[in-house]
């Protein structure tokens, strides 16, 4: 059984990834064997947000040379996670037609991601 810390390795903090955080999109480097469902569950458990979408991309290692020797950089998997930024309070009709609020409330941003937000 994988823990959320085994699935999410580290956040990707670049200029491009920080520009889309206002739209609720956060970029993470994830374990190569993880799938979209595992990534979604891990982000929801770690950060307490509601995930609406996950896009993943596999990156092969690049061939690099150092003097006379050729080598290869490590391959990795990157995930762009879209979270719900609306933050609506969930409610439903209970017994007798009374409005009942749902017990779970989600955050609308990930404060732990990056710096300077």
8 in any annotated domain: yes
d(CA 81, CA 40): 8
Q: Which DSSP helix (H) or strand (E) runs through 99?
A: strand 99-101
pLDDT in tens, 71-108: 999 999 999 999 988 766 666 677 777 777 766 667 77
Give the number of domains in the chain: 1
Backbone angles phi, psi at 17, to 5 degrees: -70, -25
Q: Which two tokens stand for residue 88?
A: 């609506």
24 in any annotated domain: yes
22 in any annotated domain: yes
Find, among 114, 90, 109, 101, the residue nearest to 24 by Cα. Answer: 109
51 in any annotated domain: yes
DSSP 13-47: --HHHHHGGGGTEEEEEE-TT--HHHHHHHHHHHH
113 in any annotated domain: no
pLDDT in tens, 1-42: 789 999 999 999 999 999 999 899 999 999 999 999 999 999
Mean pLDDT of the chain: 87
110 in any annotated domain: no
61 in any annotated domain: yes
For the entire predicted model, the pTM comes to 0.78
Give the structural domain span for 10: 4-101
72 in any annotated domain: yes
List the CATH number of the domain containing 28: 3.30.70.330
């Amino acid at each position: 059984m994988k823990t959320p810390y085994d699935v999410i390795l580290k956040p990707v903090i670049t200029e491009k990834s920080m520009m889309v955080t206002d739209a609720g999109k956060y970029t993470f480097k994830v374990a190569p064997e993880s799938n979209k469902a595992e990534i979604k569950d891990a982000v929801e458990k770690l950060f307490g947000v509601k995930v609406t979408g996950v896009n993943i991309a596999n990156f092969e290692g690049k061939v690099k040379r150092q003097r006379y020797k050729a080598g290869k950089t490590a391959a990795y998997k990157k995930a762009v996670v879209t979270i719900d930024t609306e933050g609506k309070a969930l409610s439903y009709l209970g017994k007798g037609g009374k409005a009942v609020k749902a017990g779970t409330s989600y955050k609308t941003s990930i404060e732990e991601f990056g710096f300077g937000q």
